[in-house]
A and B are shown apart, each in its own frame.
Chain A
Amino acid sequence: AQSVTQLGSHVSVSEGALVLLRCNYSSSVPPYLFWYVQYPNQGLQLLLKYTSAATLVKGINGFEAEFKKSETSFHLTKPSAHMSDAAEYFCAVGVGGNDKIIFGKGTRLHILP
């Protein structure tokens, strides 16, 4: 069965600092991995996805994530945080095709001025 674990329900970084949101996955088959962002009172928006192509995936808004099979990780990073990055971020895993997506518990990112 597939699952994801997000380390840290809340992360605070200063504006301009590196953002690092951690995600580890468990999957019995090659996974498809996603990061979604949820801004206040809005739906879930796809930031990026890994589908077994390049291990370093670039997404929107300057975010990227690296798939590391040896560490079963898919951490999300952004070199320089912006106030507008404050949101909840969800790591998720899919089996493939158009199957269900299994979400982590989410990490709320706070940006300090």
Chain B
Amino acid sequence: EPEVTQTPSHQVTQMGQEVILRCVPISNHLYFYWYRQILGQKVEFLVSFYNNEISEKSEIFDDQFSVERPDGSNFTLKIRSTKLEDSAMYFCASSGETGLAGSEQFFGPGTRLTVL
């Protein structure tokens, strides 16, 4: 069964460093998302991406964040200069049903980012 994959499963970095979190969405999907979950808190939407551009972003997704689909398979989230408060589990998701309401988003297993 197709699934969303994410690498690495755990990333440890120093404050101020750049990190790139990688995701491989389901191959025929068209919509891509990043969410994050700070430990003990709820899953929060960061950004959605369609047709090679951001379709929506949250207040969390400031200038330190960027997303890219560098090729036909990968979808990346870059944090330019990490802060302690960026420590969280980051989930990638994809969906493929064009325009259908309530389309299912398929989630990856997550990358746990720890900023020291």
Residues on A facing B (Cβ under 8 Å)? 32, 34, 36, 41-46, 49-52, 90, 92, 94, 96-106
Distance in Å: Cβ of A6 to nearest Cβ of chain B: 9
Contact of A90 with B109 in the complex, beta carbons under 8 Å: no
Report the count of interface residues on B (CB-CB < 8 A): 31
Beyond A43-B108, A52-B102, A98-B100, 15 additional pairs, beta carbon < 8 A: A36-B107, A43-B110, A44-B91, A44-B93, A49-B104, A51-B101, A96-B101, A97-B101, A98-B48, A98-B95, A98-B97, A98-B103, A100-B56, A103-B35, A103-B44
Inter-chain CB contacts under 8 Å: number: 68
Classify the secondary structure of B's interface with A.
Answer: loop
Contact of B42 with A32 in the complex, beta carbons under 8 Å: no
